[in-house]
Amino acid sequence: MQLFNLPVQPLRDALRVLETEGIFKIHARSGIEFLKADLELARSTYQFRSIIERSAARTYAETAETGEIVQLIADHRALLERLQDGASVESTAEEMESLEQRFHGSIIASLRNPMIETTARRLKNYVAVIRLDLTATPPRMIRNIREHLDVLEACLARDPAAAEAALTRHFQAALQRILGMV
């Protein structure tokens, strides 16, 4: 309460929401147990995301507005160019996060399923916890953008199989980056 200068009830409500989202577990009178960002959480999260988003990538390739895909490609290429020209992580981190959200959010939204969208938001929270220990670097951001572009270019070509394959490669590479293998 003192730290945020807030009354107790809004903080309790926020804690309940975070517990519902699986970020931590509240143990009565003994404390809070935070989600452990370990190998198992990373593997499980990316496996679940892959199950959902592979199908969504196929749907997006078939149904997305061409203008939306073209705009996402242009925005990815613009950031890629800035990073290749030496832009710092600090100056591009917010833009990169926005592109991440737009890219994955658009793909998920193509399924038009509120239950999947809710689940995807929860998985996004898990990814945020997993990434807390991951240092963003221009080479990692560049690889991520190129992987997104592979998916988007397959979608622009209206090739659902290629979009799904590119998204699968993206998730495999992302998991390897998290595990420190790339």
* 3-class SS of residue 27: strand
- Say whether pTM exceeds 0.85: no
Q: Which two three-digit tokens encode residue 156?
A: 């622009």
Beta strands in the chain (DSSP E): 24-27, 31-34
Single-letter amino acid code for the residue at 58: R
pLDDT of 35 over the 70 cut: no
Which H or E element spans position 55? helix 39-63
Tens digit of pLDDT for each residue in 47-69? 999 999 999 999 999 999 999 99
Predicted pLDDT of residue 5: 85
Find the length of the chain.
182
User: How many CB atoms lie under 10 A from the CB of residue 167?
Assistant: 28
Buried b (16+ CB within 10 A) or exposed e, 60-86: bbeebeeeebeebbebbeebbebbeee
Q: By three-state DSSP, how is residue 110 classified?
A: coil
179 in Cβ contact with 42 (< 8 Å): yes
